[in-house]
């Protein structure tokens, strides 16, 4: 069976990180023995690991992050795991990101920018499809998808959660604060309340938490942020933002 990500990679509005070397990512096997039998990956923040029942980001079942402003400030939570997953030499997919990842900052934090895959979708149906295919693909170590303030049926989210359950791809879905009153199928739901404050709203095998304060020594970047400014990006003929990461 063909790689379900192949069609996305071959689209003209998908940008791939440079220096991948003879399609190395597409040939990479998901059967990475270092990750077999692992249920969670350390977040890189001690207080957050202590608050999550599994002791880190759940590798199966998906993570939902609620916040405002397209969750642009929430990416700091995931820089440590992006650096860790860079060792797998698989794609790190960004589905419908609000801005362009800022390559110098990511590189400084140990993230392999040549592994970044940017996917720009035209509508909600295409975004849901691309997100599911990326999660199910054997060639992604992590998938970030910005669902924003759109309304999604539980069944649609359940498909993504099932895909995350069946693979070793870390799935992270960003949604608006307005989704807090809706049921979620994902294993972990967080709220990014301020620069260094996180609240666990729901988790499998554990309870919600009081606000978790991340100490300054476990750095969340204050600047530059992991994003380019939109004005610095190059716009394609369709008006979509498309800028090389590396």
CA gap 103, 113 in Å, rounded: 6
Rg from Cα positions in the chain: 17
pLDDT tens for 218-228 read: 888 776 778 87
Q: Which CATH number fits domain 6-17+38-232: 2.40.37.10, 3.10.620.30, 3.40.50.300, 3.40.50.1000?
A: 3.40.50.300
Specify which of 22-31, 44-53, 62-71, 218-227 reaches the highest per-range mean pLDDT: 44-53
232 backbone dihedrals φ, ψ, rounded to 5°: -85, -5
3-state secondary structure of 150: coil
pLDDT tens for 103-152 read: 999 999 999 999 999 999 999 999 999 999 999 988 999 999 999 888 89
Host H or E run for residue 147: strand 140-148
Give, as one character, the DSSP assignment of residue 106: H
pLDDT tens for 143-193 read: 999 998 888 999 999 999 999 999 999 999 999 998 988 999 999 999 988
CA gap 59, 167 in Å, rounded: 9
């Amino acid at each position: 069976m063909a790689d379900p990500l192949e069609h996305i990679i071959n689209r003209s509005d998908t940008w791939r990180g440079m220096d991948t070397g003879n399609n190395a990512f597409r040939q990479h096997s998901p059967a990475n023995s270092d990750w077999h039998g692992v249920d969670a990956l350390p977040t890189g923040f001690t207080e957050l690991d202590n608050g999550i029942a599994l002791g880190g980001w759940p590798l199966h079942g998906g993570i939902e992050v609620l916040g405002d402003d397209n969750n642009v400030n929430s990416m700091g939570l995931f820089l440590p795991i992006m650096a860790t997953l860079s060792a797998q030499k698989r794609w790190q997919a960004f589905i419908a990101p609000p801005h362009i990842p800022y390559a110098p900052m990511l590189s400084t934090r140990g993230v392999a920018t040549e592994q970044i895959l940017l996917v720009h979708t035209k509508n909600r149906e295409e975004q849901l499809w691309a997100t599911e295919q990326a999660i199910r693909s054997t060639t992604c170590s992590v998938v970030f998808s910005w669902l924003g303030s759109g309304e999604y049926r539980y069944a649609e989210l359940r498909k993504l959660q099932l895909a995350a359950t069946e693979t070793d791809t870390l799935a992270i879905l960003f949604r608006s604060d307005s989704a807090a009153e809706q049921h979620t199928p994902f294993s972990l739901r967080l709220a990014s309340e301020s620069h260094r404050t996180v609240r666990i709203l729901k988790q499998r095998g554990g309870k919600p938490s009081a606000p978790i304060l991340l100490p300054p020594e476990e750095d969340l970047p204050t600047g530059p942020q992991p994003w380019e400014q939109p004005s610095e990006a190059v716009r394609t003929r369709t008006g979509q933002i498309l800028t090389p990461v590396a």
